[in-house]
Chains A and B, each alone.
Chain A
Amino acid sequence: EPEVTQTPSHQVTQMGQEVILRCVPISNHLYFYWYRQILGQKVEFLVSFYNNEISEKSEIFDDQFSVERPDGSNFTLKIRSTKLEDSAMYFCASSDPLAKSSYNEQFFGPGTRLTVL
């Protein structure tokens, strides 16, 4: 069964450093998303991406964040200058709203745990 994959599974970085989190969405999906979950808290939406541009973003997704689809398969989240409060689990998801049965069923990757020291 096709699945969303994410790399790395765990990233440790120093405050102020740039990190890039990588995701490979399901191949025929059209919408891509990033969410994050701070330890012990609920999952929060960051950004959605469709047709090579951001379609929606939350107030969390400030100028420190950017997303890119550098090729036909990868979808990346870049944090330019990490802060301690960026420590969280970051989830990538994809969906195919055009699929008859999907109705916005989003498929999530296993997550990348980001630890900022």
Chain B
Amino acid sequence: SQQGEEDPQALSIQEGENATMNCSYKTSINNLQWYRQNSGRGLVHLILIRSNEREKHSGRLRVTLDTSKKSSSLLITASRAADTASYFCATGASGSRLTFGEGTQLTVNP
């Protein structure tokens, strides 16, 4: 099954620093997505990267995808306290289930 595994499990940084989270998966994918979840709340879609893309940007977010290593990274630049949340990668084919990883708990200290 396609399964994302994030590392680190927890990351604590100071405001203004960059945060990098990694995700690995096991099988071939056609896209990979990153979601954010604030404590006890719903999942917010951040960015989707297709298997034929290597890098994608959205505001302060930068996602890379290396299909040869079956891994992806999410970089949040110039982090803010409001970025404190859990971040999940997820894989899944169109119209099909998403398989989520365990998530990285990011804490941005003011």
- Which residues of A come within 8 Å of B, CB atoms? 30-31, 33, 35, 42-45, 48, 50, 55-56, 58, 89, 91, 93, 95, 97, 103-111, 113
Contacts and interface: CB of A to CB of B under 8 A. Distances in A.
Contact of A111 (B33, B41, B88): B41
- Sorted nearest first, the 5 A-B pairs with minimum C-beta distance are A45-B97, A110-B42, A108-B43, A43-B100, A97-B94
Given A104-B94, A113-B40, 12 more contacts: A42-B100, A42-B101, A58-B97, A104-B95, A105-B33, A105-B45, A106-B92, A106-B98, A108-B42, A110-B41, A111-B41, A111-B42
B44 to A, nearest CB: 7
Contact of A104 (B35, B42, B96, B102): B96
A31 B97 CA distance: 10
A45 B30 CA distance: 18
Contacts of A106: 33, 45, 92, 98
Contacts of A48: 95-97
Interface in B36-51: 40-45, 48, 50
Nearest to B95: A97
Interface residues of B, number: 26
Interface of B: 30-31, 33, 35, 40-45, 48, 50, 88, 90, 92-103
Given A105-B48, A106-B45, A110-B42, A42 B95 contact: no
Contacts of A97: 94-95
A42 B1 CA distance: 15
Contacts, number: 68
A76 to B, nearest CB: 18
A17 to B, nearest CB: 23
A96 B42 CA distance: 19
Residue with the greatest number of chain B CB neighbours at <10 A, chosen from A105, A106, A109: A106
A97 B48 CA distance: 13
Nearest to B92: A104
